[in-house]
Amino acid sequence: MSDNKLSSQKNILPKGEELSGHGFAIIFDMDGTLVDNTPFHYKAWQLLFKKYNLPELSRETYKREISGVPILNTVVKYFPDADAGDQNTIVEEKQGFYRQEYLPYLRAINGLENFLAELKDAGVKLAVATSSDMNDVDFVFNTVPIRQYFDTIIIGSMVSEPKPSPQIFLKAAQHLNTRPEKCIVFEDSTSGLQAGNNAGMKVVGITTAHPAEVVGRAANLVINDYADISLHKLAALFDE
């Protein structure tokens, strides 16, 4: 199925669908959701803007316009005169700043590893759906040993529309052979939370990027970390 047909066909059950024993699958965003790296992405963009003598980037602008958006899309927006080669160079510079700043602090969000192990033991299908590229995924997963828990990883280049388009979550559901309405999305950014809703999925918002009152406007459930979340709480989302 082509990407541009995913949205219109999101309620069609993929052939050979097999749901987990709990009847749902889970799709995780990565940045700000599996790891609390949002402050370091913000710092990297600040350093990049400073290098190129752009106006100082405020935290509010970062959260509203950049967080959850593919890096290249942001580079195209803020560096409109750069050609394709220069754009790729700027992307790499931004990522270099990010990895330099974040590596000493890279770790999973509290409770995540135990939670993923619980889900996997229960037979729940799991996916990552991130606007980042595979190099960024590898950077995180090479330090945080959680790759084995996920049945599929969907990256930004695998879809044609960024969040808040539901494309990336619908593609993840397709790879998991699970109906969108039987999926739960874990997200932190406003664009990601909206994308989960646009996909017709249940949404759990984590408060790494925004306060609970903001996250709660677009989420069925709000958490600060994974210490208190459980299969029972997730299953209850489908009783609402």
pLDDT in tens, 149-191: 999 999 999 999 999 999 999 999 999 999 999 999 999 999 9
Q: Which residue has the higher pLDDT, 166 or 1?
A: 166
When the pLDDT of each residue in the chain is averaged and rounded to a whole number, the result is 91
38-105 CATH, one of 3.30.720, 1.10.150, 2.60.40, 1.10.357: 1.10.150
Q: Could you read off the pLDDT of 117-154 as tens digits, one per residue?
A: 999 999 999 999 999 999 999 999 999 999 999 999 99
Q: Angle at Cα 103 formed by Cα 50 and Cα 94, nearest 5°?
A: 30
Q: Which residue has the tokens 């109906």?
A: 179
Q: Is the pLDDT of residue 8 over 80?
A: no
CB-CB neighbours of 240 under 10 Å: 7
Measured CA to CA, the distance from residue 185 to residue 176 in angstroms comes to 13
Q: Which residues contact 110 (CB under 8 A, 6 or more apart)?
A: 225, 226, 227
CA 132/CA 40 separation, integer angstroms: 14
| Residues ≥6 apart with Cβ < 8 Å to 187 | 29, 33, 193, 195, 196, 203, 204, 205, 206, 219
Identical fold, 3-36+108-239 and 38-105: no
Tell me the two tokens of residue 55.
């106006």
Angstrom distance (rounded) from CA 133 to CA 166: 18
Q: Where are the domains of the chain?
A: 3-36+108-239, 38-105
Inform me whether the pLDDT recorded for 214 exceeds 60: yes
φ, ψ of residue 152 in degrees (nearest 5): -155, 155
- Among 1.10.1060.10, 3.40.50.1000, 3.40.50.150, 3.90.1210.10, what is the CATH number of 3-36+108-239? 3.40.50.1000
pLDDT at 68: 81
In this structure, the number of other CB atoms found within 10 A of the CB of residue 149 comes to: 17
Q: Which of 164, 176, 177 is nearest to 203 (CA)?
A: 164
Nearest of 230, 59, 68, 38 to residue 140 by alpha carbon: 38
* Backbone Cα Rg of the chain: 17
